[in-house]
Structure 1
Amino acid sequence: MQELHALAEAIGLQRIWWDVDGREQVVTDASLRTIALALGFPAATPEQIAASLARVEAEMTAPPAMIVTDVGKETSLPTSLAGAQLTLPDGTTRPLDTARWTLPAIDTPGYYPLTVNGHALTLAVAPTSCPTVASLGKGRIWGPAIQIPALRGKQPRAFGTFGELAEAAEVFAARGADAIAINPVHALFAGYGHDFSPYSPSSRLYLNGAMGDPALLGLPPLPDDAGGDGPLIDWEAALPARLARMRAAFAGLDAPTRERIAHDNAPHGEGLRRQALYDALDVHFRSKGAKGWQDWPPAFHDPDGEAVAVFARDNAAEVEFHLFTQWLARESLGEVQRRARAAGMAVGLLADLAVGVHTGGADAWSMGDTLLQGLTIGAPPDPLGPLGQNWMLTGFSPRGLARSGYAPWIATIRAALSTAGALRIDHAFGLARLWVVPEGQPSSAGAYLHYPFADLIRLVALEAHLAGALIVAEDLGTMPHGFGPAITERGMLGMRVLWFERAADDGFIGAADYDAQAAAMTGTHDTPTVAGWWSGRDLQWAQRLGRLPEDTTVDEAEARRAWDRGLLWASLTRDAAPRPAPDDPAPVVEAALRHIGSTPCGLAIAPLEDLLAEPEQPNLPGTITEHPNWRRRLNAPLSDLLQDPATAARVQALDDARKGVA
């Protein structure tokens, strides 16, 4: 149906797309109708399609809330604003041709209030580039990537917190690191021992209160945790226990400290209070079996409703407690960044921005139709995942962003950069398009939804400029057309991961052939560690979980790995050094660290697991309970582990390679 297809195109749905093998795929009309309805455009009948098309046209001709442009360039006014008329002496009027009217060029990046023809809006003027590694004046830099809960300190705790992160920043700064990449620290569900993946947050605007450390802020430390000595984190027990310790700490605060907290929280306004109110409500209703705001009584679905206001009044102390946990997390993380910079790091923390939020979380409750409703995000079917992926997350609505003048996106980037010197944007392709899936349907029923990519990356560049921060855009996978050149032009770093940097003959490319405007990495939290790959630990997991490629036997997988080991070793060494045996990964790990360190990339990132030559990876994509995702812990305090001669040699090898030391 041509009218349906025209509507799909008008609202940003991509009907025809190409998979990773270059094969054309066509979204069914049924899927288009379902997704269009979820986006607010009914399309079941010709009459509904016509009405929806008329609505699209009306929205396109409405004055914008924000115009986003570049420094030094004149900006054409949208037709919705370019209207003027001339009144003649006899009182008659005549329209003026304003189609070519432009706003003058502005040479300073920033946000400028603007009124055009009586319509108030904001003009956002983006810089030509984000800050770059070169602008730091330190040459090629490096840093570890750390899963904060995996850290151990001198005192026993059930999981690592910002206190252990502060120690890690200082010990790595002393060893030459200029950055420390961390997992997302967004708000999860307060005291809830499930849904603990850092990539499935309740809110991306606020922080995981369980990570705060009173000792960093001069307050009495929390009591030591029981059961903190095991190799895996028992989140189901640890998070409720940590919340109870936080409550005891809050109850013991003196009046000056409470005044300090109120003073520090005041600039964060109503948004912070709403987050604390959500957490109070979630704790209250979760104890009754609710698993997100959709399970609350309907009267509580409206953040501005009477029922919520009454709850806030009657539970003021509980709301104040959650304001305390947010203060503790925010100020603790800020102190980590301060210590990292004071120790000599040029960047300090490299934060991680998750691609979306939990559908039952605080952002989904408080942001309303700024977020997608009735749709979740994921990935389309491909050879590695024939059924596709549904991450059970929601993301921004393109229409909601436009109506709000991009306020939620700006707030999200600003929050992430408020306590960091750099930001990694997870699945950055989502700035251009996201695979959206109707609720309750398989991923194969989804379609790509397009976003205002040019405006979104301009705003990232503007916020990075204002914060003086680097931006790393995760660009792994099937890249949308034009994405690579656009982020390159904006000075953002792509990601070049060892395992994916293969030549046409399937060999691994040499260090000199890496893209200079990228972060070189031995791996990510989702890939095998170097030691795990060399020893075949990932193949053992694949065999155990029935995840080997279709029609591939264990023997065939191991034979392929043996061949790949030869290709990797040849690229890493470029000499006649004997290839280590599969059960001797240590020389390979050190060679891999030298390899990424020797690349022309401005930034090199090595997961802590590779610096320690660990065989296990933090997360195995596509699993939930089958693999201990986000549960692994170091077997000793980090400062002790880094004193091990073999580990120290690996860290030194990376530092030497970055500095060009032979």
Structure 2
Amino acid sequence: MEPLHHLARAAGVQREWRSVDGADMVVADDRLAAVLTALGHACATPAQIAASLAVIAEQESALPRMVVGEVGLPTPLPLADGPVEVSAEDGNTVTARVAGGQLPPIDQPGYYVLHTGATTLTLAVAPTACPLPADLGAARMWGPAVQIPSLRGHRPGAYGTFAELDAAVQAFAARGAQAVAISPVHALFAGTGEDFSPYSPSSRLFLNTALADPELAGLSPLPAHEGADFIEWGEALPHRLADLRTLYAALDPVVQATIGQEGGSHGEALSLHALFDALDCYFRPQGLHGWEQWPEAFHDPRGAAAAQFARDNPQEVAFHRFCQWLARTSLDAVQQRAREAGMAVGLLADLAVGVRPGGSDTWTMRGAMLHGLSIGAPPDPLGPHGQNWGLTSFSPQGLKAQGYAPWIALLRNALAHAGGIRIDHAFGLARLWVIPAGGTAADGAYITYPFADLLRLAALEAHRARALVIAEDLGTAPKGFVDAITARRMLGMRVLWFERAADDGFIGAGDYPELSVAMTGTHDTPTVAGWWRGRDLDWAAALGRLPEGTSRQEAESVRDWDRGLLWASLTGQHHRPAPQDSDPVVDAAVAHVARAPSGLAIVPLEDLLGLDEQPNLPGTTVEHPNWRRRMAGPTEALLADPAVSMRIDTLARR
């Protein structure tokens, strides 16, 4: 084996991979070298490769920060045979014996500390599986998926916040929904209308403070701002930040201090995130977007320059801590009220696959994150050039070196305000396509992650929170992925549009697995009405996104054939409604997912209302009004429409 290829294997960079159409692919050596270099493994010369291999070997032989095991199974340990003290989280300590390099099975999930001589080791013991809907009180559940900013309330607003989410949750709870799925509420860059996609956050550990609602936290309401049909984020977010500043300044100093003390209980991570937001608000007006563009002295979050800025601007940092308190408190109130209204799950949170490279997470968790690499997808027939999402994520080695603390914190922070989580692009728990800076998506390679450990920790945190876990598994799964999440009782996603049979027809509702979420669509797919009417084809034609050599008329001909296949699968009938008559198709699609034996059925609000337009068109930014559409009125009023009520009754009844 070539030394470079040996290094790639040792570093978890996949030189060979299989494309979506089954072709065996090989990553060129120059691309391998670029990825390895970005990961910190010098490889320009044989001597550098040898040195990098030695470092990896040393890391692999070192005592790990955390070992992850499973209930009922012996745990391999890098310890000498002999007695070891095992301390549980409640302080109870017992003595066990390591034999043959293995610790005997532990029968209770949790985190343990092992002591032997001068050695201390943390052990996580995962349950065999995640909770299921039946464990939470109902074998089969239903709920809507909502885009929080799209919601309207009775009070004018430039976009929907946790206040409008609360009203929507209460409206659906009254109609028997057990869950409400929401897009990520991760922290964006404070007060700027740029990067407003919920899937392009600054931090996944903290919340989007622009969604906070003071009234849910027991404070005075913010000023009302009339909103239009499309959200103008460039105006709305700066206005919101200014209103929050005014609210904070008007608080009694005692109240400010009390809130500050509560924020202090969240430790250094919150303080550093607040400091990041304060610095970003200072540098962004100077045209410096993200910490990578700041003066070098500020690149170290614990350095002298950052510390001096915090001392010179204590009220500014305290304000951003207050904003996080406000977001956390108001979102907690939404979840608490959902449970009080009878929802078994309440909010289903969404974990984005990555963060912006210049954001808070990459600044504060430098050692845990990938640098010089962005994540995306390799070229395939649907995307010949591949995809570069402009995001980064955790480093596999960084996670191991930090005892998986960032992953555990991400899970805990999300489950603190929700009864379940959806892991976006869950394939990333096993591998991610990474692209060196300055390269195209075709220049990337897959890097592997400690899949078994990450999966077990997700199951452990879900067990502790009594929460569902949904794994977004759309696309070509890595080898062993499906079996692994099935064994953990994570719910896969079964989206109507992708559930096709070998003859290209749509599979029957009865063929959906119980261990799944049945869905009429997602935020990235056409709505049922929009698909039936061909609205997605209109957009594709207008933006030059139809398959090469295909006219709009030819695309319509293919769609008309598919309409017949869909209608036959949904109803068993041959004669179908006209393309402009979408309501019967929406009704049938809702009934279809309601009939599925899946443990959870999710229908986007856009489908319940029979709307034509989807919230997001993947692969576009300014070409399509992504994340900008508003609902026509308050959720309660929209659900009172007879057609909508009938669809909800169908879900609740079946």
Q: What is the rounded CA distance, in whole Å, between the counterparts of 1:231 and 1:603 in structure 2?
A: 32
Q: What is the rounded CA distance, in whole Å, between the counterparts of 1:139 and 1:128 in structure 2?
A: 19
**Is 1:627 aligned to residue 624 of structure 2?**
yes
1:92 corresponds in structure 2 to none
Give the deviation of 1:82 after TM superposition. 3.1
Q: What is the rounded CA distance, in whole Å, between the counterparts of 1:14 and 1:556 in structure 2?
A: 40
2:599 corresponds in structure 1 to 602
Q: What is the rounded CA distance, in whole Å, between the counterparts of 2:331 and 2:115 in structure 1?
A: 39
For residues 332-411 of structure 1, the aligned pairs below 5 Å read: 332-411=330-409
Q: What is the rounded CA distance, in whole Å, between the counterparts of 2:62 and 2:241 in structure 1?
A: 48
**Is 1:36 aligned to residue 43 of structure 2?**
no
Give the deviation of 1:152 after TM superposition. 0.2
Q: What is the rounded CA distance, in whole Å, between the counterparts of 2:11 and 2:258 in structure 1?
A: 48
**Is 1:163 aligned to residue 195 of structure 2?**
no
Please report the RMSD computed on the Cα atoms of aligned residues, expressed in angstroms.
1.3
For residues 502-581 of structure 1, the aligned pairs below 5 Å read: 502-575=500-573, 578-581=575-578
Would you say the 8 A contact 2:81–2:100 is kept in 1? no
For residues 246-645 of structure 1, the aligned pairs below 5 Å read: 246-575=244-573, 578-645=575-642
**Is 1:141 aligned to residue 141 of structure 2?**
yes
Q: What is the rounded CA distance, in whole Å, between the counterparts of 1:566 and 1:142 in structure 2?
A: 27
2:651 corresponds in structure 1 to 654
**Is 1:203 aligned to residue 203 of structure 2?**
yes
Flag structure 1 segments of 5+ consecutive residues without an equivalent.
86-97, 658-662
Q: Deviations over 1:394-421 (max 9, x none)?
A: 1111111111100001001111100000
Would you say the 8 A contact 2:430–2:450 is kept in 1? yes
1:88 corresponds in structure 2 to none
Q: What is the rounded CA distance, in whole Å, between the counterparts of 2:35 and 2:486 in structure 1?
A: 32
Q: Using the TM superposition, name which of 253-262 and 470-479 deviates more.
A: 253-262
Give the deviation of 1:101 after TM superposition. 2.8
Q: Deviations over 1:348-387 (max 9, x none)?
A: 0000000011000000101012101111110001111111
Give the deviation of 1:54 after TM superposition. 1.4
Q: What is the rounded CA distance, in whole Å, between the counterparts of 2:172 and 2:82 in structure 1?
A: 61
Would you say the 8 A contact 2:577–2:584 is kept in 1? yes
Letter in 2 for 1:395: S
Would you say the 8 A contact 1:501–1:509 is kept in 2? yes
Give the deviation of 1:268 after TM superposition. 0.7
Letter in 1 for 2:429: L
Would you say the 8 A contact 1:20–1:382 is kept in 2? yes
Give the deviation of 1:113 after TM superposition. 1.1
Q: What is the rounded CA distance, in whole Å, between the counterparts of 2:110 and 2:67 in structure 1?
A: 12
Would you say the 8 A contact 1:529–1:610 is kept in 2? yes
Letter in 2 for 1:495: M
1:186 corresponds in structure 2 to 186
Q: What is the rounded CA distance, in whole Å, between the counterparts of 2:261 and 2:208 in structure 1?
A: 21
Q: What is the rounded CA distance, in whole Å, between the counterparts of 1:10 and 1:608 in structure 2?
A: 47
Letter in 1 for 2:532: W
Q: What is the rounded CA distance, in whole Å, between the counterparts of 2:377 and 2:56 in structure 1?
A: 27
Q: What is the rounded CA distance, in whole Å, between the counterparts of 1:335 and 1:19 in structure 2?
A: 45
Would you say the 8 A contact 1:188–1:202 is kept in 2? yes
Give the deviation of 1:260 after TM superposition. 3.6
SS at match of 1:287: helix
Would you say the 8 A contact 1:349–1:422 is kept in 2? yes
Q: Using the TM superposition, name which of 494-503 and 543-552 deviates more.
A: 543-552
Give the deviation of 1:267 after TM superposition. 2.1
SS at match of 1:358: coil
1:93 corresponds in structure 2 to none
Q: What is the rounded CA distance, in whole Å, between the counterparts of 1:392 and 1:117 in structure 2?
A: 47
Would you say the 8 A contact 1:83–1:117 is kept in 2? no
Q: What is the rounded CA distance, in whole Å, between the counterparts of 1:114 and 1:225 in structure 2?
A: 56
Would you say the 8 A contact 1:380–1:446 is kept in 2? yes
Q: What is the rounded CA distance, in whole Å, between the counterparts of 2:117 and 2:384 in structure 1?
A: 53
Q: Deviations over 1:201-252 (max 9, x none)?
A: 00000000010000112211001014x1x11000000000000000111011
Q: Deviations over 1:406-447 (max 9, x none)?
A: 000100111110000000000000000000000111011100
SS at match of 1:392: strand
SS at match of 2:622: coil
Q: Using the TM superposition, name which of 447-456 and 648-657 deviates more.
A: 648-657
Give the deviation of 1:84 after TM superposition. 8.3
SS at match of 2:277: helix
Q: What is the rounded CA distance, in whole Å, between the counterparts of 1:141 and 1:134 in structure 2?
A: 9
Flag structure 2 segments of 5+ consecutive residues without an equivalent.
84-97
Letter in 2 for 1:23: A
Q: What is the rounded CA distance, in whole Å, between the counterparts of 1:564 and 1:637 in structure 2?
A: 35
Q: What is the rounded CA distance, in whole Å, between the counterparts of 2:452 and 2:583 in structure 1?
A: 44
2:175 corresponds in structure 1 to 175
Give the deviation of 1:311 after TM superposition. 0.3
Letter in 1 for 2:240: R
Q: What is the rounded CA distance, in whole Å, between the counterparts of 1:136 and 1:429 in structure 2?
A: 26
Q: What is the rounded CA distance, in whole Å, between the counterparts of 1:489 and 1:40 in structure 2?
A: 35
Would you say the 8 A contact 1:63–1:119 is kept in 2? no
Letter in 2 for 1:329: A
Would you say the 8 A contact 2:136–2:466 is kept in 1? no
Compute the TM-score of the two structures, normalised by the length of structure 1. Answer: 0.95
Q: What is the rounded CA distance, in whole Å, between the counterparts of 1:104 and 1:600 in structure 2?
A: 39
Letter in 2 for 1:114: L
Would you say the 8 A contact 2:567–2:573 is kept in 1? no
SS at match of 1:357: coil
Q: Deviations over 1:321-347 (max 9, x none)?
A: 101110000000000000111111100
Would you say the 8 A contact 1:520–1:604 is kept in 2? yes
Q: What is the rounded CA distance, in whole Å, between the counterparts of 1:44 and 1:436 in structure 2?
A: 20
Give the deviation of 1:262 after TM superposition. 2.5
Letter in 2 for 1:272: L
Q: What is the rounded CA distance, in whole Å, between the counterparts of 1:217 and 1:558 in structure 2?
A: 51
Give the deviation of 1:148 after TM superposition. 0.1
Q: What is the rounded CA distance, in whole Å, between the counterparts of 1:539 and 1:101 in structure 2?
A: 60
SS at match of 2:286: coil
Letter in 1 for 2:471: A
Q: What is the rounded CA distance, in whole Å, between the counterparts of 2:404 and 2:106 in structure 1?
A: 20
Would you say the 8 A contact 2:260–2:318 is kept in 1? no
Give the deviation of 1:115 after TM superposition. 2.4
**Is 1:233 aligned to residue 196 of structure 2?**
no
Would you say the 8 A contact 2:354–2:392 is kept in 1? yes
Count of residue correspondences? 640
Give the deviation of 1:83 after TM superposition. 7.3
Q: What is the rounded CA distance, in whole Å, between the counterparts of 2:471 and 2:307 in structure 1?
A: 40
Q: What is the rounded CA distance, in whole Å, between the counterparts of 2:602 and 2:202 in structure 1?
A: 28
Letter in 2 for 1:656: R
Give the deviation of 1:613 after TM superposition. 0.4
Q: What is the rounded CA distance, in whole Å, between the counterparts of 1:304 and 1:111 in structure 2?
A: 29
**Is 1:102 aligned to residue 105 of structure 2?**
no
Letter in 2 for 1:403: A
Q: What is the rounded CA distance, in whole Å, between the counterparts of 1:551 and 1:458 in structure 2?
A: 47
Q: Deviations over 1:582-636 (max 9, x none)?
A: 1010110011000001100000000010001000000000001100000000011
Q: What is the rounded CA distance, in whole Å, between the counterparts of 2:567 and 2:33 in structure 1?
A: 52
Q: Deviations over 1:162-219 (max 9, x none)?
A: 0000000000001110000001000000000111010010000000001000011221
Q: What is the rounded CA distance, in whole Å, between the counterparts of 1:618 and 1:82 in structure 2?
A: 56
